Structure 1
Amino acid sequence: MADILVLNPPFLPKFSRPQRSPAVTKSGTLYFPLFLAQSVAVLEADGFSVTFLDAPAAGLSLDAVVARAVADAPFLAVLDTSTPSIDADMAAAAALTRAVPGLFTVLVGPHATARAGEVLTQAGGAVRAVARREYDLTLEELARLLASGPPTPERLATVAGLSFLGPDGQPVHNPDRPYLDALDRLPPVAPVYKKHLDIRHYFNPNAKPPMVTLATSRGCPFRCSFCLHPQTLTGRTARYRSIDAVLDEVAWCLDNFPGLRTIFFEDDTLTADKARCREFCAAIMRRGLRFDWSANARADMDADMLAAMRRAGCRHICVGFESADAMALAAMKKGLGTERMRRFRADAAQAGLKVHGCFIFGFPGDTRESILATIDFALSLNPNTAQFYPVMVYPGTEAYAEYEARGFIAAGRWRDWLTPEGLHGCVVRNEFLTPAEIVRLCDLARRRFYLRPTFLARRAAAALVSPGEMARTVRAGRVFLKHLLRGSRV
């Protein structure tokens, strides 16, 4: 028996719903359900018994999930959502509602937040509520309310951050819940991983497996128009856990996950506050914690800071370069230019930090010529690995609103955000390029980057030197190479 079911719902095998651009990835990436796990930690600390299932990671079918719910008979079910999976997410909620009498189903996550009213009305009563934005404390308050009495409209109206259907069948949106500033109030997520999940299921090509994902902050102060989580979940002001609390959790992971190779800090931008990042690195060294780690970073760090990160155990950083075109960079509100990016890349190489570079094609003003220039820019930067994607616009972001207003979204349903097999689909065009042309340019970029003899030789040499690097390379390359070789020609 369990009071609450927290579910990353079934969809496609190995569908990575928690990442900023959800898909079945070419590299085999599968993100930890970090936000769901944080909610589980909050609910369990409040005394609720929780069943936490990550169906895509564990290979659970909807029938298996429903059978577990019937056996547990929870009073509350929490389901994560994403744009491409939303129809399947609502179908999972409907199946659970039919199977468990009196179950109160609530959806969370980026898509549900951005389209709360639409989801509630389309679900036909199968979804009782949406917990918008940062939902940990909203779920805790809702669980307490349900445990103490019936979910009448009057009682539901007291829960900040909640949307629900009123007596007339129309959506009611309670005021937003303020973002939590004191993040140390939240219990650590690592014990939730240990209790409920198998860390061997999760993989990020920027981290040697086995790995775990933690966060030292929430929110991002930068204004990139396409970035999903700051605009739908975490907000555009960075809020921080204390460094001691983070490192206590790191120490717990090192003690409790035998064979752990890497910790991935999944902050929106770990390096947003440079002074704090320096102190974070200094504190790791003061405490004598020896572990490899990777993080999301921004290409505006100086050489001293990069060297400090490397000394503290950082091995790999994921950086959004995005484009070489000044017009595209302005359109996405990147706030960085190519010369700063070049200096950062040289400093990172000097510090011995590996860099995963992200590049995005298809912003307003992008042409074939500007994208070819970006591909040349990527080759000149020569990051250790790179990804090349069409711009993925999701409801709730400024980029989605702009593309929708200009008639640049070339999709008829949410499922079109993915190909039939679950890879990212291109759902945008711009003034000069069709979706098919943008996809062909992405394929060209991958082939030019990854089929270089120098790149292949470098990866082979690294894999031979390090067993962890070998495991990471084989796991990512096994899936990626298949897609790379069958890519379209431009």
Structure 2
Amino acid sequence: MKSHDAVPQARDADPMKVLLIFPPPSDKYSRDYKNAIGSGVPLGVAHLGSSLERGGFKVEAFDFQIPGNNNTRLREVLRGGFGMIGLSVFTLSAHSAYDIIGKAREASPGSTFVVGGPHPTALGPAVLDECGADVAAFGEGEITIVELARAVAARESFDAVKGIAFRRGYLPSEIVTTAPQPPVEDLDTLPPPALHLFDIKKYAQPGAASLYFPSINMITSRGCPYDCSFCFKKLWGPRCRFMSVGRVMSDIAELRAKHGAGEVAFFDDTFTLDRDRALSLCEKMLEEKKPLPWRCNSRVDRVDAELLALMRRAGCYSIGFGIESGNAEVLKKCGKGITLEQVRNAVELARRAGIESRGYFIFNLHGDTRETMEETTRFALSLPLTVANFTMALPYIGTRLREIVENDPGCRVDSARWNDWSAYCDKEPLFTQGDVRADELKKIISRAYSRFYLRPSYILRALKRVNSFEQVKSYIFAAGWILSATLSSFFVKKNR
């Protein structure tokens, strides 16, 4: 395992203070979070924090997911005086992030405001025209944010900072785009995420997904070689890079010793993409006296009986599969590259190995009809899944799905909301196909949830899984949501 030498070392005796903000989804921005169910430590912010600290800066983090963290509280925090304020922005949080920038600038007018993450990377320099920030960072940010912070602290030009766009001059200002920042080739050279910036105990994962608390997220690889139409890949790119097994084990040991991790949730796109590495990692875990429980995500065509059996022995109790659709033609159109036979085989192999399966499904993919979405629901019901997640296809900026829908005369785009990023949170379809109306599409999704989770056999299995009070609270929370969705579906049907 190599030393963490990708990020430049500290050099300033009187370091500048940097505040990193994780904005909430726009639909939750207008109200305080009552709990952190469903949330986890924002790993992107934590990685940026550790790089900045290693670069010699004082760092604080502000996560709007945490109860009590709102704009009033943020104004109090901003009294500390920050030279640079960065926001990690997803499309779902873009609207709230932009509003936060405006309010924070009033409280801290001398700070340099920076946006980064998937949404700015997808939009490119144009994001500066809509967000009010001074600088936009694109792609992986660990190296870029340190270079930028040093330029801000020294009051130097940003021209030499790679991977950004920034404003130069006033009324009108010029937007300058610098050379791209190369991706980090060796992930072992990055310092571990700065989890100490967050109160781990305030985060909890839903009981339907987790069994042990606290559940701490971890990413050990970057990049995805697949070409699903609905996925945005420009942040990390198509080429896969992996942390070494030694580095992963070192980070797990730190999660357990310093943060009291009850389990690890690997958030790699495809944990088993490199089969040999996955096997080696499991073998190392088995050398521990008591391996930490963990869960991960994979693809149905990247698992087999031998691998799953070893994963279970090493502590894996749950695996997530992106199944997307129960119709072969829809799977083909979205570029998923899997078959229904592979889905059924992978879920069954996981069951035999003693690993629970989580299935992720997307309704209204390109080519979906009322009939194909019913096939998807029935397919989900036929599988021995512990968790099923049904979502609506969203045409995120930078995805092939967005281009396909825009150019297909058979798709009806809601042009008034297409570029309104707050609309991506309001659970209303942004496009429809064929004779399926928007209200019917919503009903199909809510009915899929109720048909899956309200089966007596499923409820009995779920009750047998309960092993903590946190899980009881999470199940009550989930049950309330499902009941609300079911009642909503009933009234939509009654009022049609």
Q: TM-score, normalised by structure 2?
A: 0.88
* Aligned-residue offset at 1:213: 0.6
Which residue of structure 1 aligns with residue 272 of structure 2?
271
* Equivalent-residue separation in structure 2 for 1:218 and 1:166 (angstroms): 33
**Deviation of the 1:65 alpha carbon:** 0.7
Structure 1 position 149 matched with structure 2 position 155: yes
* Match for residue 111 of structure 2 among 99, 103, 107: 103
Whole-angstrom distance in 2 between the partners of 1:49 and 1:201: 24
Q: Distance in 2 between matches of 1:27 and 1:384?
A: 22
> Is 1:52 aligned to residue 61 of structure 2?
yes
Distance 2:355 2:197 in 1: 33
Mapping 1:264-343, distance limit 5 Å: 264-300=265-301, 301-343=303-345
Structure 1 segment 32-431 matched on structure 2, within 5 A: 32-69=41-78, 71-123=79-131, 126-150=132-156, 155-167=157-169, 168-189=172-193, 192-204=194-206, 205-208=208-211, 209-228=213-232, 231-258=233-260, 260-300=261-301, 301-406=303-408, 408-410=412-414, 412=417, 413-419=420-426, 424-431=427-434
Question: CA 1:46–1:102 in 2, change beyond 3 Å: closer, same or farther?
Answer: same
Q: 1:27 to 1:194 in 2, by over 3 A?
A: closer
State the distance in 2 between where 1:289 and 1:116 align.
Answer: 46
Q: Secondary structure at the match of 2:225?
A: coil
> Partner residue of 2:450?
447
Could you say if the C-alpha distance between residues 366 and 105 of structure 1 is closer, same or farther in structure 2, counting changes exceeding 3 Å? same
3-state DSSP of counterpart to 1:47:
coil
Percent identity, aligned pairs only, is 28
1:33-61 CA distances to partner (integer Å, 9 max, x unpaired)? 11111000100111100111112224311
Cα distance per residue 1:136-194 (max 9 Å; x no partner):
111111011112223xxxx32222110112435243322321211111111111xx223
Distance in 2 (alpha carbons) for counterparts of 1:232 and 1:486:
39
CA contact (8 A) 1:206 1:317 kept: no
Task: Give the Cα separation in 1 of the matches to 2:394 and 2:73.
Answer: 32
Q: CA deviation at 1:291?
A: 0.9
Counterpart-to-counterpart distance in 1, 2:439 and 2:162: 43
How many angstroms does 1:12 deviate by?
5.9
* Structure 1 position 105, deviation (Å): 0.3
- CA deviation digits over 1:348-407, x for unaligned, max 9? 110010011011111121111111111111111131110111112211212122223335
State the one-letter code of the partner of 2:87.
L
Distance 1:362 1:264, change over 3 A: same
Alpha-carbon separation, structure 1, partners of 2:375 and 2:27: 36
Q: Distance in 2 between matches of 1:40 and 1:78?
A: 10
1:21 corresponds in structure 2 to none
Residues 61 and 195 of structure 1, relative CA distance in 2, 3 Å threshold: closer
Check 1:472–1:179 CA distance in 2 against 1; reply closer, same or farther (3 A cut): farther
Structure 2 counterpart of 1:146, one-letter code: V
2:491 is equivalent to residue 483 of structure 1: no
Q: Is the 8 A contact 1:220 1:272 kept in 2?
A: no
Structure 2 partner of 1:18? none
TM-score, normalised relative to structure 1:
0.89
Structure 2: gaps (5+ residues): 1-14
**Contact conserved, 2:36 with 2:203, CA < 8 A, in 1?**
no
Give 1:207's aligned amino acid: S
**Cα drift, residue 470 of structure 1:** 4.2
**More moved, 364-373 vs 193-202:** 193-202
SS in structure 2 at match of 1:56: coil
Aligned residues: 464
2:182 corresponds to which letter in structure 1?
A: P
Q: Which residue of 2 is the match for residue 19 of structure 1?
A: none
8 Å Cα contact 1:325/1:374 also seen in 2 = yes
Give the match's secondary structure for 2:489. coil
Contact 1:14 1:56 in 2 (8 A): no
Q: CA RMSD in A?
A: 2.4
* Partner-residue secondary structure (3-state), 2:352: helix
Partner SS state of residue 156, structure 1: coil
